[in-house]
Structure 1
Amino acid sequence: MERRQFIEIVAGGVATVGLAGCSGQSGDGPNVSDEESPGDASETLADETVEVSEDSYQAYTATLESSATLSYDAIVREGPAIDIIVTNGNEFTNYENDENFRYNSAASELDTSNTNNSTELDSGNWALILDNTSRGEAEPPTNFDDDIATVEIEATIS
């Protein structure tokens, strides 16, 4: 995986472009507003199988115009356990800069290989991070191999 590369994510029918972070990759997700009617389907933030290299991460970002529910189901099909971290936009910047950061403990799942979660988030900018670094509780093995975590992730915002 290249350290800096442009990616295009099609989420909820809206194409957006994100710039990768230094040690991982992030994509801009949906902008969810309260103008949608209650009967509208949820917006897809992620629905893919992704390989997360050791000491790297994959992030999915969304801007919420009002409070919404983030729901995700993730399983590591191959490789080490990972941390699934949900944090706001300011704290995501700290994360990307390898600084101390805060995260939403109710929405995050640390040192996991198989999990699902559904949590209400306030309005604002949010990031869902698949973390294969030593920043959280899960730590990649120290065997001098590139221990890639192959993760199936489905995430929606409703």
Structure 2
Amino acid sequence: MDNYRLDKVHKFEEFVDQRLKPDLVRAVSERDKVFEQQKTFSDLRKNIENLQKNSVTSLRTLVNLGSEAYMQAEVPDMQRIFVDVGLGFHVEFTWSEALNYISLREEKLARQIEEYTHHIASIKAQIKMVCEGIRELLQLPTEATLQEPIF
């Protein structure tokens, strides 16, 4: 095999290893973060719906003060709830306002998950295409033309 082909194969392999695979890992990681946010909002929605259904007006709970140190807390008025809207900001909502905000946020997160999924599929397709190019440069038979051994 000539040096030109070997050089091309080496460049394709470097591209896959140094560019496409890290991009794929990063995209999967980002999508997983969005999945976690989606679960958090889903859990919050379920909790608010349960509070509404049971007509809860006050609440006793444990609050994490940090470093897994907890303290008992009593919430005398449950008419309003503070929701983390990002960047360290919390907004005071009524339960119905919070449910509206959560549904909007869940729709946005679902769109982000779909975008990441398409991006991941695109990267995988690029990796497959480059691997097919390497196979052609090396003049290897395709998987369909390989014969299975008879035992």
> Do the structures match in fold with TM over 0.5?
no
Structure with bigger gyration radius: 2
TM (norm. structure 1) is: 0.20
- Give me the TM-score of the superposition, normalised by structure 2: 0.21
Q: Which has the higher helix share?
A: 2
Query: Greater strand percent: which structure?
Result: 1
